[in-house]
Structure 1
């Protein structure tokens, strides 16, 4: 049974919980010049995942665009911006559209470290990017 009871953590913030189980695991490669975020969404579509967690990745980006806390963004110029760490999830909306929410840490060519959410459409893969996805199967309200 899904438990989506809002739990206030601080003013203006609501946390929800969801029960379910893990499903299949997919390992795949995102091609050069393809956007990292959109590539993960395409992988989920290809595997039939409606919801998934990004369990890891390895590769580099031509350039990186990361969101900032102030609503702005930071552009990390390459070539070959290395992705040091990546995590996130893909969720299916009510209309079935998949939306990936990915965050990570990247290193620019000089070795400076930057972090934040990857902005969809602005993170082209350099050579290749390997990613591991794990399917999430939320419980349905009418499941027994």
Structure 2
């Protein structure tokens, strides 16, 4: 447990439903969608689709390659946050199933998760009001 907790207040904004084209990277495409819609911060609210291959971070700091074709995304969650330099960074985690039905989970490695056919995603804009910092007991 950490000794510091950050609580952010704000409100939900607009919702965007989008289709990501084949061979686009999942993480970078979500960042581009937010830029195109003018979302500085957003949450992933839903997704449906598959990847050519998947590349997930492991708990030990390595990566796990899940070979396709057509690695199905079972679940996807994450957020997009504006960086101090104005760029956006998506942090996406999920569960995938390979062609034999084995399941794997973890954060998606940016630049290493190409969409197979099409991919549907729902993004909800987050409009932060202010940051409050509290120390946990």
2:7 partner SS: coil
Unpaired runs of 5+ in structure 2? 132-137
CA gap 1:20/1:113 in 2 versus in 1, 3 angstroms: same
TM-score (norm 1): 0.88
Question: What does residue 139 of structure 1 align with?
Answer: 129
What whole-Å deviation, never above 9, does each CA across 1:49-78 have from its counterpart, x for those lacking one? 000000010000000000001000100000
Select which of 90, 103, 109 maps to 1:113. 103
C-alpha distance in 2 between matches for 1:15 and 1:130: 33
The higher-RCO structure (CA 8 Å, 6+ apart) is 2
Aligned to 1:54: 44
Q: Distance in 2 between matches of 1:67 and 1:14?
A: 25
Flag the structure with higher strand content.
2
Aligned residues of 2:24 and 2:114 also touching (Cα < 8 A): yes
CA distance in 2, matches of 1:57, 1:18: 25
Q: Which residue of 1 aligns with 2:20?
A: 30
- Whole-Å Cα distance in 2 between the matches of residues 118 and 18 of structure 1? 25
Cα deviation for residue 15 of structure 1 reads: 3.4
Q: How does the TM-score come out when normalised to structure 2? A: 0.93
Flag as ranges the 4+ runs of structure 1 deviating above 3 A. none
Q: Which runs of 5+ in 1 are unaligned?
A: 1-8
Note if 1:85 corresponds to 2:75: yes
- Distance, in Å, in 2 between the alignment partners of 1:14 and 1:70 is 24
